[in-house]
Chain A
Amino acid sequence: MSIIVDTGTRLVISGLTGHEGTFHGLRNRDYGTQVVAGVTPGKGGQDVDGIPVFDTIAESVEREGANTSMIFVPARFAGDAINEAIESGVETVIAITEGIPVMDMMPIYWRAREKGVTLIGPNCPGVLSPGKANVGIMPAQFFDPGRIGVVSKSGTLTYQIGNELKHAGEGNSSIVGIGGDPIIGSDFIDILTLYEADPETDLIVMVGEIGGDAEERAAEFISENISKPVVAYIAGFTAPPGKQMGHAGAIISGSSGTAKAKQEALEAKGVRVGESPTEAARIAVETLRAD
């Protein structure tokens, strides 16, 4: 197994006809993902390298059996596209788009929960299950199939850690980029729950960063609900308060949301936290082999 995307994924891409959408959509297909449709309003009937394009996501569900939607449209239209996906009948929506206003995301978050749709992102690199499916913008060459599940707020940092795991001879069940925005569809806790239930995952690496309290809540959750070992890395120890560090959600407000507080919360619950991405990867490999 693996989580969220696999060989049964039938992907519809909103924004497939755009430059980035085409580039990554075809990359995803080349990896082996079943890319069954694209959606661009007004372009129904066209195709992108043989992938049929529809006017609506619902049509792609009906005609091509799409069960997973990827959102690749510009920020100001992305909210509407995510809403459309949630109502279309797909089970999973993966929103790559960066820069969606948080006031747009708030009702979307609640609507997705109400409808039982798994929403990943926005502002995320997507989900990769090595050897099975790649949905998003992750470079798949750093990730081999294996037994480590990764969940991360950051893209490049994840590639960095994936590459180190690969060099150490280890691979991944899945890699989930949950995104760096203040409100995201799935948090650490949601993904930890999926990994706990996944028989192919033996260890979980979580990559957090400053801002919010998702890591602290995850620490609490791990101590009560996760039996598999978890290794963490947190970025942003040198970040000053009140400054947004690239990601919209990466900001220390007053004295809350610091990397130190997150590290302490995790360590207090027995989660080992690496000082650098390299160390986190090393601890993960050691722990996996010690078990």
Chain B
Amino acid sequence: MDLLEYQGKELLARHGLPVPEGSHAATVEEAVAASDELGYPVAVKAQVLIGGRGKAGGIKIASDSSEAHEHAGDIIGMDIVGPHGEGPFKVNELWVEAGSEIEAEYYASVILDRSAKKLMVMLSRMGGMDVEAIAESDPDALVKQHVDPLRGLDPDTANSVVEKAGIPAESGDQVAAILIKLVEVAQAEDATLIEINPLIVNSDGEVVALDSKTTVDDNALFRHPELKELSDSHVDDPQEAMAKERGLTYVKLDGDIGVLGNGAGLCMSTLDVVAQAGGSPANFLDAGGGSKAQSIIDALEVITSDPKVKAILFNIFGGITRCDEVAKGIIEATEQTGLDLPLVVRLDGTNSDQGMALLDEAGFSHLHHESTMLGAARRVVEMARSGD
């Protein structure tokens, strides 16, 4: 789960890391009131889960109430597209923050390095730009240091990172302390990424986190009830919200063919095969091992609530779950939901013949079955096109 900037900053502040004073606002009025209270200048910042907000016009400085009003009005409701084309993300909330005078901008982060199986801290004196851009333009300016998995980051190692990064001596101790703290926060909060960019030195010589990007391990939410709450409240897409409520693993895509598969790998593979057949998948939905009618009903309701969906593909490989059980679930779900979109079902594996016979007997005119993945993908693409 990714945290919004202000949620990440609240997390950092809870652990004693320095962040500017600020306030959350969901309306223009709230933003102006918060700005007046903080005193000018303030930064009015769009809260969306994507980088490049500044360039997209999602961060503006206001020097008085009327500017705060104007900027908040411009930013709330705007659509922000990410640097890799992600989104668009609609801005529903703002973070209004006391303006900082910036003497220097650094970059600091802690990240889970999957290949090394260790946490890694990164530090650069070239803050404010994308970390990939730093690494490209001047690889030596980005200092990387793995963290001992059993002992954490010790002060000597932190100091040597600060030195290698060329951080001036007067800020060095503060930056080293922040690195150590970042590792502690990552471990305590199950964060696989905390990125502070920029980490600034203000006019009082204090080192402060001016932005934050935080990813928390979903598997660890059971021990962080306050983060769990954020995760439950923070799904923008209506289908994703509905799926989450029903405990389904669903990812919205932008095509018109609804997809359900059993198992994450098979489901990903199904999307690929649909694309190879010339179609465009509308979603990823892993039904897991279950064959129960209720879970198939839930899945069908989520898939069909997306108005773009014109045809649906179920790709089931029965292992321990038997295909005849799955077929019964599909029949019951089709009857109960009154599904009228074309549905192509591919059943393979344990008891697939019995499963297909059951589907034949049910005699739904819009339900078709295939025995191979590729055959099923071609069929569903055809059906989606004929619906045009």
Q: Is the CB of B264 within 8 A of A245?
A: yes
Q: Is the CB of B268 within 8 A of A106?
A: no
Q: A101-B220, A246-B284, A248-B218 are in contact. Are A276 and B265 (CB under 8 A)?
A: no
Q: Is the CB of A214 within 8 A of B115?
A: yes
Q: Which of B115, B269, B349 has the most CB of A within 10 A?
A: B269
The docked-state distance in angstroms from the alpha carbon of A180 to that of B286 is: 14
The docked-state distance in angstroms from the alpha carbon of A250 to that of B320 is: 24
Q: A106-B117, A160-B348, A255-B84 are in contact. Are A235 and B132 (CB under 8 A)?
A: no
- Residues of chain A within 8 A (CB-CB) of B281 are 238
Q: A156-B317, A238-B281, A239-B271 are in contact. Are A276 and B374 (CB under 8 A)?
A: yes
- Residues of chain B within 8 A (CB-CB) of A155 are 263, 265, 319
The docked-state distance in angstroms from the alpha carbon of A156 to that of B323 is: 13
B262 at interface, CB cutoff 8 A: yes
Which of these binds chain B: A1-9, A50-58, A84-92, A135-143?
A: A135-143
- Residues of chain A within 8 A (CB-CB) of B373 are 160, 276-278
Main secondary structure of the interface of A (DSSP, over half): loop
Q: Is the CB of B115 within 8 A of A210?
A: no
Within A60-93, the residues touching B (CB, 8 Å) are 75-76
A102 at interface, CB cutoff 8 A: yes
The docked-state distance in angstroms from the alpha carbon of A73 to that of B263 is: 20
The docked-state distance in angstroms from the alpha carbon of A250 to that of B273 is: 18
B212 at interface, CB cutoff 8 A: no
Q: How many pairs of residues, A versus B, come closer than 8 Å at their CB atoms? A: 170
B251 at interface, CB cutoff 8 A: yes
Q: Is the CB of B86 within 8 A of A182?
A: no
The docked-state distance in angstroms from the alpha carbon of A100 to that of B221 is: 11
> A236 contacts which of B114, B217, B268, B319 (Cβ < 8 Å)?
B268
> A239 contacts which of B217, B276, B284 (Cβ < 8 Å)?
B284
> A276 contacts which of B112, B218, B273, B350 (Cβ < 8 Å)?
B273
B305 at interface, CB cutoff 8 A: no
Within A270-284, the residues touching B (CB, 8 Å) are 275-278
B90 at interface, CB cutoff 8 A: no
A41 at interface, CB cutoff 8 A: no
The docked-state distance in angstroms from the alpha carbon of A100 to that of B223 is: 12
- Residues of chain B within 8 A (CB-CB) of A182 are 112, 114, 192
- Shortest distance in angstroms between B56's beta carbon and chain A's nearest beta carbon? 17
B275 at interface, CB cutoff 8 A: yes
Q: A103-B220, A237-B272, A278-B374 are in contact. Are A160 and B266 (CB under 8 A)?
A: yes
- Residues of chain B within 8 A (CB-CB) of A210 are 268
Q: Is the CB of B284 within 8 A of A275?
A: no
B294 at interface, CB cutoff 8 A: no
Q: Is the CB of A241 within 8 A of B86?
A: yes
Q: How many chain A residues touch the partner (CB < 8 A)?
A: 62
Q: Is the CB of A212 within 8 A of B190?
A: no
Q: Is the CB of B117 within 8 A of A209?
A: no
B253 at interface, CB cutoff 8 A: yes
- Residues of chain A within 8 A (CB-CB) of B372 are 278
Q: A99-B219, A159-B319 are in contact. Are A250 and B118 (CB under 8 A)?
A: no
B150 at interface, CB cutoff 8 A: yes
- Residues of chain A within 8 A (CB-CB) of B267 are 245-246
Q: Which residue of chain B lies nearest to A27 when distances are taken between CB atoms in the complex?
A: B320
B336 at interface, CB cutoff 8 A: no
A154 at interface, CB cutoff 8 A: yes
A213 at interface, CB cutoff 8 A: yes
- Residues of chain B within 8 A (CB-CB) of A275 are 276
B363 at interface, CB cutoff 8 A: no
Q: Is the CB of A156 within 8 A of B262?
A: yes
Q: Is the CB of A254 within 8 A of B132?
A: yes
B249 at interface, CB cutoff 8 A: yes
The docked-state distance in angstroms from the alpha carbon of A245 to that of B271 is: 11
- Residues of chain B within 8 A (CB-CB) of A137 are 320
Q: A156-B317, A275-B276, A276-B273 are in contact. Are A235 and B118 (CB under 8 A)?
A: no
Q: Is the CB of B265 within 8 A of A212?
A: no
The docked-state distance in angstroms from the alpha carbon of A25 to that of B306 is: 41
Q: Is the CB of A141 within 8 A of B264?
A: no
Q: Is the CB of B264 within 8 A of A240?
A: no
Q: Is the CB of A209 within 8 A of B349?
A: no
- Residues of chain B within 8 A (CB-CB) of A255 are 84, 132
The docked-state distance in angstroms from the alpha carbon of A244 to that of B349 is: 27
The docked-state distance in angstroms from the alpha carbon of A240 to that of B252 is: 9
Within A137-180, the residues touching B (CB, 8 Å) are 137-139, 141-142, 152-160, 163, 180
Q: A156-B317, A183-B114, A243-B251 are in contact. Are A238 and B263 (CB under 8 A)?
A: no
Q: A100-B219, A102-B219 are in contact. Are A107 and B265 (CB under 8 A)?
A: no
- Residues of chain A within 8 A (CB-CB) of B117 are 106, 109-110, 183
- Residues of chain B within 8 A (CB-CB) of A153 are 265
A247 at interface, CB cutoff 8 A: yes
A266 at interface, CB cutoff 8 A: no
A249 at interface, CB cutoff 8 A: yes
Q: Is the CB of A238 within 8 A of B374?
A: no
B307 at interface, CB cutoff 8 A: no
Q: What are 24 A-B residue pairs whose CB atoms fall within 8 Å in the complex?
A: A102-B112, A102-B190, A103-B190, A106-B117, A106-B118, A110-B117, A152-B265, A156-B317, A159-B349, A180-B265, A182-B112, A182-B114, A207-B265, A235-B268, A236-B272, A239-B284, A241-B86, A243-B284, A244-B251, A245-B264, A248-B219, A254-B132, A255-B84, A277-B373
11 A-B pairs besides A157-B265, A209-B265 with CB distance below 8 A are A101-B217, A102-B190, A102-B219, A155-B319, A156-B261, A157-B266, A159-B319, A182-B192, A183-B117, A211-B114, A247-B264
Question: Could you tell me which B residues sit within 8 Å of A by CB distance?
Answer: 2, 84, 86, 112, 114-115, 117-119, 132, 149-150, 186-187, 190, 192, 217-220, 222-223, 249, 251, 253, 261-269, 271-276, 281, 284, 286, 317, 319-320, 348-350, 372-374
Question: Could you tell me which A residues sit within 8 Å of B by CB distance?
Answer: 27, 75-76, 99-103, 106-107, 109-110, 137-139, 141-142, 152-160, 163, 180, 182-183, 207, 209-214, 217, 233, 235-250, 254-255, 259, 275-278
